[in-house]
Amino acid sequence: MKLKTGKCLVLLSVMLLCACDSEESRFDAARTRALQNPDPWQAYVQLSADAERDCPSGLLESACSGKTLADYRGLAQTLYRKALSRSSPGAFADLFLRSVPPGGLEPQMPELAKKLIVMAGKSPGDRASAALLLAAGDVLQNGEWMQKDSVQAAAFYARAWLAGSAKAASRLSHLYSLQHDDASALLWQNRCTGECYPVQELVDVPASWSPRKILRIQALAKDRSIVTVNGQADWEDK
């Protein structure tokens, strides 16, 4: 009986050692791939995917040891900070579209926010810069890391929408709703399609509006050059 128990313990030890070796080898491979990538942001994205594959976060108990998880987190943090230092648009968009900044970065957020606005202002407005423009709009509209500026925020949101960000339509509808510009809020609510999440506050159409005015706003929404209604929906009612 003792011999059988001893064999079981030896077998268990071997299995644990093999698991640890496999875990370490997977991390070593992931680290090598990340460090060979000249783009730190792409390296971070790849490492994050490798970490989720090797150590799934949705499990009740982690598939990886505490050491391996710490190794992944440490390398990811290094790559993330490196991407920010190199002004990676992807890193800046990710940082300011998060609800909470990664640990240790909060003291730098005001300075990084200024850099984000400059980068967004110089961006070409193509699909690749849509997230950066959306993040710039959020920073200016929320006023958490720099002075609030809803006018400039709206301009960035509009550029983000033109660049392909469906979420920007929801942001603009909410922004104009806060300013009690119901016509412009409805304009952007009509543009909230596809991946655009539901508008935070659906526009309550004033009872005084005629059906013709509502149809006019819906028609204006199809013109991508229009950012605000500015009385254009009223011309047929006069």
78 occurs within a structural domain: no
- Residue keyed to tokens 């490798």: 50
| Boundary residue ending a domain (146, 164, 182) | 164
Residue 11's pLDDT is what?
44
233 and 219 share a domain?
yes
Same domain for 224 and 182, yes or no, is: yes
- Give the total number of structural domains in the chain: 2
Could you give the residue ranges of the DSSP H alpha helices within 37-124?
40-54, 66-85, 89-97, 109-122
For the chain, what percent of residues have pLDDT higher than 90?
A: 66
Q: Rounded mean pLDDT of 66-86?
A: 94
pLDDT > 70: percent of the chain: 83
User: Residue 233 belongs to what H/E stretch?
Assistant: none
Residues 160 and 202 occupy one common structural domain: no
129 and 195 in a single domain? The answer is: no
Does 23 map to a domain? no
What's the domain range around 138?
91-97+104-164
**Distance (Å, whole) CA 21 – CA 155:** 53
Q: Enter the tokens of residue 97.
A: 């579209």
pLDDT tens digits for 5-37?
444 444 444 444 444 458 888 899 999 999 999
What CA–CA distance (Å, rounded) separates 212 from 231? Answer: 14
Residue 218 has pLDDT above 70, yes or no: yes
User: Is 68 inside a domain boundary?
Assistant: no
pLDDT tens digits, residue range 165-198?
A: 999 999 999 999 999 999 999 999 999 887 776 6
Measure the CA dihedral 124/126/129/130, to 10°: 130
Q: How far apart are CA 131 and CA 126, in angstroms?
A: 10
- Report the predicted TM-score, pTM, of the whole model to 2 decimal places: 0.83
81 lies in a domain? no
Q: Is residue 216 domain-resident?
A: yes
Query: Is there a single domain that holds both residue 172 and residue 151?
Result: no
Whether residue 202 is contained in a domain is answered as yes
